[in-house]
Amino acid sequence: MPSPNLCFPFLFLLLTATISTKVQALGVSWGTTASHPLPPRKVVELLKSNNITKVRLFDSDPLVLEALSGSNIGVTVGIPNSMLKTLNSSKKAAESWVHDNVTRFFSTARTGARIENVAVGDEPFHQMYGEQFHSVVIGAVINVQSALAKASLGSEIKVVVPLSSDSIQSESGLPSKAHFRPDLNKTMLELLTFLDKHHSPFFVTISPFLSFLQDKNVSLDFALFKETARPRNDTHSRTYRNSFDLTHDNAVAALSAAGFPGMPIVVARVGWPTDGAANASSQTAEIFMKALMQRLHAKSGTALRPQNPPSEIFIFSLFDENQRSIASGGFERHWGVFTFDGQAKYRIDFGQGSSKDLVNAQEVVYLPSKWCVVDNNKDVSNASARVLDACSAADCSALSPGGSCSNLSWPGNTSYAFNSYYQQHDQARDSCDFGGLGLITTVDPSIGSCRFWIELDTSEAGSHSRVCLFWLLILLITVLV
């Protein structure tokens, strides 16, 4: 088996870079809550191939930051909510975190990671968390800022707090009545004062899909920017024709009511899922994303900020993540513009030109072409219990009502659950047992739009050896010819 170190010189000669016009103020969220993620360096290649110049991370994985080093991609690193209490209570902990996750990788030169923001928490004021983070966010923010200043990075890197859209309320659902939730008044004033002092932007989620699901006044057409949508009229002759603009101006109005009318807004996440719920499909997501990109490229403002659109927008998300929480619904695992293996789900203009398709991840290494299905020749009276066991430890979100596999009947739905578990456990033989009901097959059981996925080979040896053998074979054939 060729050594990985011997392969890379050959591979270097074969790799080429694609250079084209970049789109400003557009980034993507790169989440890693997946059982078999693509290797970070392959993800960075994907970002660069699609002219994506900014990325938001939800943690600070050193392998990811190493891969981003030298890429010239602007990076927002994240601090998980689970760390807020520690960072609030300890300046030393904040200094250690900054040293280990920022200073080690940051560089204004081409060699390091171009870290632009540190996101303290991820939607810590979301209503599902209650008040557990209210008392620790501001302290964590101040300590992280102090740690950056001590590392001489205070003027280089902004400290921000991404907020959920439910941090803002409006009795009428319109900007004229918008304000921050009453339980956040004191904390929000402290946060906004901090952001204003350090010239940091206001990070907030805008999710037309969730608005459509949760608000009976938001139609599908209104969420999708369609001209057929019934407009919503606010005071002072302001009219809203889509959910994105309305939610954005709710944030503008809340900031103004709090005394910060000019604070710049960054859309911390916006997107449309492609599976796991009704109206969550690649076709619908493409309609939404194309309309959003058209607005971004046109630099279209809103009623309250006609000349001042969001300074940045982060698309949520780069990939599907099969281990995200599905408390809100199965769609939470299907926000990706790309599938888990880096294959584009639809066409969207990230700056590569509207006539071009997205560039997929290259040389992706999969596990063998094997699936686990139910053996119809066995006693299946206990199959339902086995399905519940499988889905509790694997991803069955495509079976959710409205999902791409929701129309499967028995035994297809059982086989889907078995295969999901089997793939997430690296196709280990005993992971297709299920009390003797499982059967390993080399015949793809996918039906129509319902895909029975094969997972990625994330073992380092497997990935390196297969890629190297492929390219060495190409080189050998070239020499012989």
Buried b (16+ CB within 10 A) or exposed e, 414-424: bbbbbbbbbbb
Beta bridge partners of 26: 313
Between strands 114-120 and 158-160, the pairing is parallel
- Please name the residues in contact with 8: beta carbons below 8 A apart, sequence gap of 6 or more: none
Measure the CA–CA gap between 291 and 294, rounded to whole angstroms: 5
The closest of 64, 18, 60 to 41, measured between CA atoms, is: 64
CB 372 within 8 A of CB 432: yes
Element (H, E) at 116: strand 114-120
Are residues 269 and 314 in contact, defined by beta-carbon separation less than 8 angstroms? Answer: yes
Q: Look at residues 63, 58, 53 and name the one whose alpha carbon lies nearest to residue 114.
A: 53
Residue with tokens 């071009």: 356
Catalytic: which of 123, 312, 332, 455? 123
| Region label for 308, one of left (φ > 0), alpha (ψ between -120 and 50) or beta (otherwise) | beta
Q: Assess whether 321 carries a catalytic annotation.
A: no
Q: Are residues 68 and 42 in contact, defined by beta-carbon separation less than 8 angstroms?
A: no
What secondary structure does DSSP assign to 184-236, as a single string? Answer: GHHHHHHHHHHHHHTT--EEEE--HHHHHHH-TT--HHHHTT-TTSPPEE-ST
Q: What are phi and psi of 40, to 5 degrees?
A: -55, -40
Q: Please, is 477 exposed, middle or buried when counting C-beta atoms within 10 Å of its C-beta (0-12, 13-18, 19+)?
A: exposed
Sign, CA torsion 166/170/175/179: negative
Rounded distance between C-alpha atoms, residue 202 and residue 160, angstroms: 7
Residues 124, 133 contacting (CB under 8 angstroms) = yes
Closest CA to 64 of 334, 324, 318, 350: 318
What string of DSSP letters covers 78-107? EE-GGGHHHHHH-HHHHHHHHIIIIITTB-
- CA–CA separation, 389 and 404 (whole Å): 21
CA-to-CA distance for 371 and 354, rounded, in angstroms?
A: 37
Catalytic residues: 123
